[in-house]
Chain A
């Protein structure tokens, strides 16, 4: 091994700068004092215990879980067809189509959020969980398309041909060969898109009306200093579950790559 260089030191400092603030969140969630500052007064699990007693919080959690689930299913289903088309076929306007699908990654969220709100109001759709689902699906689609595209990239096209050749039609081939072979990619896409939706704030803030999702609820609670430790506890749980979901998703994504290798 090489001895640590200035570059290593830089990388270390960079990571500390990036993740230390995030680590303060769980640290202070165990602090018995209500002020978020050192020194820590004492250790407690009270803030976690109190989470279960707050009905509006539980309602917001259910809202988020529901929206996340529907968004994951919708964007993964659409991403599946889009990804297969992008990898398998060459068609006119393909690059433009691929670019347009990926666009939500780079458009500022505030622009998307405000223009969607205007659009939905214009067509008479009141802000609700439904509009949040629509907005989040738009946002999550690039994630599911790119994950599933890599799943299809590793998928030997002659597997589908072999199935046709053995007398099985297009629909049954999709069900009996395509879906099972890309299923790890599908699971990865479901997990990632769920997480994207679950953590999203700006669109949800604009489009949720009086049905807040969890991040919107948290934002509303930050105004009350007494509630802050509570929010920290909730945030820590969200942080942990998001990381777990993404690790799980990455595991499945790699498994989908590995299964394609002959």
Chain B
């Protein structure tokens, strides 16, 4: 990854009649990074991708690719290529001709043949040139779509929900393969996805979108540890959101009354817009300790009752009802010894370190 911007979006807005699909989008994408646009369906992430690809023109704002203003430049003249959600494999062409499609007439046949062979080798479909489009499995279609786009040597590869049509096992395998491919090629990948795990495992940075707006752009670890508000916090992973009161603000530290967990000092979250007296804190389920006796080495504790147990295999989820909150608190415990230690109705203690408590500020919306 370099510091050079390959894509710049400046105040981009897309309006369909009265519906605002995307607005106020400002985004710089670095050369060679794997960037994901993450959000629920209908949040405008695909619209943003299609504006970069040139299938849609922004109503307002500018799209720059490699410093060039893309206003009025049609999709076929942009240095981007796309992997479509449906893969859009041409049904009347075999694998070789699908991959060669964009090069036909632009390079000598021998060179095309060689580049097709290389591209297929790269996506591990070497030698399948003559396979018919209808004889491909879902995973193979995806690889053909990748090869067909990458053979054009784009500056940016755009991926629209590239893994959503695959089953779980294959999806996980392709996540790693695509990440490796991106790193070995050094091309910028921009992926649209609604799957937070997909975005987190593959991306250098993630942009989280809600209702046509880009809420936060950060690395996966920062997004997980310092989300900008409740909405982002609960979309990325699971989050217990609890009410709290701000007592005092000292530079980078907030002194708060965390109701259930009592008074504590937590780190101020720089991504949060506003902090008033009534605020929220977030605690990730895996960062809570659950014990039957009051845990000694945890400064903040609360007593509660197990209201639900869910066994996931690699970990166990407990729902703990505590007196001070309406919603039960989720706790996730790794499955160390193949035992489920607590049952429904058991009285338990929860403990948390103040370093695990996330300042979510005050929601203005």
Size category of the B interface is 20 to 34
Residues in B whose Cβ lies below 8 Å from that of A165: 53, 55, 75-76, 80-82, 149
A218 shortest CB reach to chain B, Å: 42
Does any Cβ of B come within 8 Å of A226's Cβ?
A: no
Residues in A whose Cβ lies below 8 Å from that of B91: 159, 181, 259-260
Does any Cβ of A come within 8 Å of B88's Cβ?
A: yes
Q: Are A168 and B76 in contact, CB atoms less than 8 angstroms apart?
A: yes
A31 shortest CB reach to chain B, Å: 50
User: In chain A, residues 104-122, which have Cβ atoms closer than 8 Å to a Cβ of chain B?
Assistant: none
Distance A259 CA – B55 CA, assembled complex (angstroms): 25
A189 shortest CB reach to chain B, Å: 18
Residues in A whose Cβ lies below 8 Å from that of B84: 158, 161-162
Residues in B whose Cβ lies below 8 Å from that of A168: 76, 101-102
Residue of A nearest to B75 (CB): A164
Q: Are A167 and B55 in contact, CB atoms less than 8 angstroms apart?
A: no
Q: Are A166 and B92 in contact, CB atoms less than 8 angstroms apart?
A: no
Q: Are A161 and B152 in contact, CB atoms less than 8 angstroms apart?
A: no
- A interface size (C-beta, 8 A): 20
Residue of A nearest to B165 (CB): A262
Q: Are A162 and B77 in contact, CB atoms less than 8 angstroms apart?
A: no
Which listed residue, A156, A162, A180, A262, touches B92 by the CB 8 Å rule?
Answer: A180
B337 shortest CB reach to chain A, Å: 47
Residues in B whose Cβ lies below 8 Å from that of A156: 86, 88
Does any Cβ of B come within 8 Å of A34's Cβ?
A: no
Q: Are A167 and B86 in contact, CB atoms less than 8 angstroms apart?
A: no
Q: Are A262 and B86 in contact, CB atoms less than 8 angstroms apart?
A: yes
Q: Are A159 and B76 in contact, CB atoms less than 8 angstroms apart?
A: no
Which listed residue, A158, A167, A183, A262, touches B102 by the CB 8 Å rule?
Answer: A167
A259-B92 CB under 8 A given contacts A162-B82, A163-B101, A167-B76: yes
Does any Cβ of B come within 8 Å of A99's Cβ?
A: no
Distance A165 CA – B92 CA, assembled complex (angstroms): 18
Does any Cβ of B come within 8 Å of A169's Cβ?
A: yes
Which listed residue, A169, A180, A259, A262, touches B76 by the CB 8 Å rule?
Answer: A169
User: In chain B, residues 54-111, which have Cβ atoms closer than 8 Å to a Cβ of chain A?
Assistant: 54-55, 74-77, 80-82, 84-92, 101-102, 106
Distance A34 CA – B174 CA, assembled complex (angstroms): 77
Residues in A whose Cβ lies below 8 Å from that of B90: 159, 162-163, 177, 181
Q: Are B86 and A164 in contact, CB atoms less than 8 angstroms apart?
A: no
Residue-wise interface mask of A (243-262) relative to B, using a CB-CB cutoff of 8 A (1 in contact, 0 not): 00000000000000001101
A166-B152 CB under 8 A given contacts A158-B86, A161-B55: yes
Could you list 17 examples of A-B contacts with CB < 8 Å?
Answer: A158-B86, A161-B82, A161-B84, A162-B82, A162-B90, A164-B54, A164-B75, A165-B75, A165-B80, A165-B149, A166-B101, A166-B148, A167-B76, A168-B76, A168-B102, A181-B90, A262-B86
Interface residues of A (CB under 8 A from B): 156, 158-159, 161-169, 176-177, 180-181, 183, 259-260, 262
Known: A165-B53, A180-B92. 12 other contacts (CB 8 A): A158-B86, A159-B91, A161-B75, A161-B88, A164-B54, A164-B74, A166-B148, A166-B149, A167-B77, A168-B102, A259-B91, A262-B87
